Amino acid sequence: MDSLISLKSVCKKYYLAKETDGVIAWCKQLIKPKYTSFDALNSIDFNIEQGAAVGFIGPNGAGKSSLIKILCGIQKPTSGNISVLGHDPSLREKKFLNQIGVVFGHKTSLWWDLPVKTSLDTYREIYGITDNDYHRRLSELSDALNLTNVLHKPVRNLSLGERVKCELTLNLLHSPKLIFLDEPTVGLDVTSKHEIRKYLNHERKKNNLSIFLTSHDLGDIESCCDDAIIIDKGRIRFDGSMSELSKNFKANVKLTVGTQNSTERSDALSIFKTEILNLPDISILNDGSTQTSYIVPKSSIGIVFSLFEAGLYDLEVTSLDFENNVVNLFKTWSGE
């Protein structure tokens, strides 16, 4: 199977003007500016096959948006080789652009003061969509995303959820092979999220749509993606299937510790916290006044239980959900 996306040693540097202190230094910087650089992406390598749905996960500042902008041709990499659908995205060839869609959850491609339908009609002309295909696709998308009653409203009068669904409709009208989604459900209610996730899965099955999705809502990743790439500080930390990632997470459990005696709660939790954190590979998930939750390797459960005093604690041991596991990874990497 041909690669949908292929990256080899891709780097992206940004340059910032150095800060100055005083008028003389400011004048020197104005005449002969000096810059500092930082790496947004550092030697990124991965391959994605056609028909895949990949979740791109990482904390703020990890390089997610920079990579999406490079993949769709908005920015150029500092170095490295990129192929998307067999094209160099930076060339912005018409044949390439006709095969992709891009949705940025925090930006709009719709005309703010005009009805949604006006923007859709304009995109039909830009992409050369036939009348039959246009009406068929628009009817299908508006029914699936519950947009029938909003197409003739000005964009400025739409709710956030309605606007994002209209953005998705706009970028799926021309039946792209690949869609990039950068935080598409940010700020949406659960109903809008469900409709978007459901339709993306429908498009994957019906039209073999490939999806490259970044989101801080890990429910999007779990619902729509078969594979995951985790990035942190511009470097790839994980590249594999969601099942493989979940399998790696099963080595840990969540241990919630409280005390039965309220008068001894503070001292008991403090003493226990000091002792348990001396053990390897244990971290705090949530630290409250009445109870504390820890991430504990299953292999260390026996040792942890030996630290308890009889009758003093309320304990709960549960499996870690996907989101808490990812949060723990970010906390672990932040100390490097």
Shared domain for 148 and 203, answered yes or no, is: yes
Shared domain for 230 and 291, answered yes or no, is: no
Shared domain for 62 and 200, answered yes or no, is: yes
pLDDT at residue 244 in the model: 84
The encoded tokens of residue 107 equal: 């930006």
* pTM score: 0.79
Comparing C-alpha atoms, which of 16, 11, 60, 9 is closest to residue 40?
Answer: 11
pLDDT at residue 92 in the model: 93
Give me the CATH number covering residue 53.
Answer: 3.40.50.300
Q: What are phi and psi of 309, to 5 degrees?
A: -95, 135
Report yes or no: 330 and 295 within 8 Å, Cβ to Cβ.
Answer: no
In whole angstroms, give the CA distance from residue 96 to residue 89.
7
Q: What is the DSSP string of 83-115?
A: EETTB-GGG--HHHHTTEEEEETTS--S-TTSB
pLDDT tens for the chain, residues 1 to 336: 468 999 999 999 998 888 888 888 888 888 888 888 889 999 999 999 988 999 998 888 888 889 999 999 999 999 999 999 999 999 999 999 999 999 987 788 899 999 999 999 999 999 999 999 999 999 999 998 889 899 999 999 998 889 989 999 999 999 999 999 988 887 788 888 888 899 999 999 998 999 999 887 888 888 899 999 998 888 898 899 988 887 777 778 888 888 766 555 566 677 778 888 888 888 887 787 777 888 888 888 888 888 776 555 677 888 777 777 777 777 666 655
State whether residue 17 is helix, strand or coil: strand
- The answer to whether residue 147 sits within a structural domain is yes
Q: What is the DSSP string of 175-207?
A: --SEEEEESTTTT--HHHHHHHHHHHHHHHHHH
- The answer to whether residue 131 sits within a structural domain is yes
pLDDT at residue 2 in the model: 65
Shared domain for 56 and 191, answered yes or no, is: yes
Residue count of the chain, please give it. 336
Give me the CATH number covering residue 269.
Answer: 3.30.70.930
The domain tally of the chain equals 2
Shared domain for 71 and 205, answered yes or no, is: yes
In whole angstroms, give the CA distance from residue 212 to residue 309.
50
In whole angstroms, give the CA distance from residue 223 to residue 6.
24
Domain assignment of residue 290, given as a range: 250-334
Report yes or no: 230 and 237 within 8 Å, Cβ to Cβ.
Answer: yes
